[in-house]
Amino acid sequence: MNMLWRIVSAIGFSLFAICVIGISFCISKDIYSSGDLNAYLAMRKDASPLKLALDQGILRQGSSIEELLAVATPRSRQEFGRCVIYYNFDSDLGKDRASVWMVDGKMTAAYSNNWKFFDSTPPEIKTSISRIGRGRIRVGYFPHEIQELREIEEAEMAKLKGQVMKDAVPPK
């Protein structure tokens, strides 16, 4: 009976340790649901150099464009005043479906498919970019409104050029 108790205790302790390690890992990666876990596993499935650098913390909030280019080269970018969004990074696996947002030359957000590595882009910048994007899409459907939409885009771009990045990158 004593031997059986030791075996059961060892198995129980091992399972407890595995659960603690698993929970600690999930919390460190901001995984709080099965959907989060699925998104993380999908991101890691085709792990490009960019995704690995973001996941391992080599690239992080506040990284510079030089640090980004040392890891991966974007094929496309969209400029919105002080915010530039880089995407379509090359990798051995083809396009890796990642996007990196930089404000004032500092990384403020990084995404891959449904996975968000981090996002500290100020809400007013995201709102302006969203309005510009929706306006550009709308021009395709309503070409007769191009002048009105162009005015909206110019107003939003003026906001983006003049916005001071508040708390997007914490002080070091």
Q: Where in the chain is the domain with CATH 3.30.1450?
A: 31-119
Inter-residue contact 72 to 88 (CB < 8 Å): no
Of 50, 58, 54, 93, give the one whose Cα is nearest residue 74: 50
Mean of the pLDDT values across residues 77-84? 87
Phi–psi pair at 83, nearest 5 degrees: -110, 130
**Residue of 140 and 94 predicted with greater confidence:** 140
CATH value of 31-119 in 3.30.1450, 1.10.3470, 3.10.450, 3.30.2010 = 3.30.1450
Pinpoint the alpha helices (H) of 29-108. 34-45, 49-55, 65-71
- Element at 60 (helix H, strand E): none
CA 151/CA 169 separation, integer angstroms: 31
Q: What is the pTM of this model?
A: 0.72
CA 95/CA 116 separation, integer angstroms: 17
Mention every residue, 6+ apart, whose C-beta is less than 8 A from residue 149: 135, 136, 138, 139, 142
CA 95/CA 113 separation, integer angstroms: 11
pLDDT over threshold 90, residue 61 = yes
Rounded percentage of the chain residues whose pLDDT exceeds 70: 90
pLDDT of residue 24: 86
pLDDT of residue 146: 82
pLDDT of residue 41: 81
Instruction: Please report the sign of the dihedral spanned by the C-alpha atoms of residue 116, residue 121, residue 127, residue 130.
Output: negative
What is the tens place of the pLDDT at every residue in 5-56? 888 888 988 898 898 888 888 888 888 888 888 888 877 777 788 888 998 8
What is the tens place of the pLDDT at every residue in 127-145? 888 888 888 888 888 888 8
pLDDT confidence tier of residue 172, bands split at 50, 70 and 90: very low
Looking at this protein, which amino acid is placed at residue 127?
T
Of 87, 81, 93, 83, give the one whose Cα is nearest residue 68: 87
Encoded tokens for 42: 């999908």
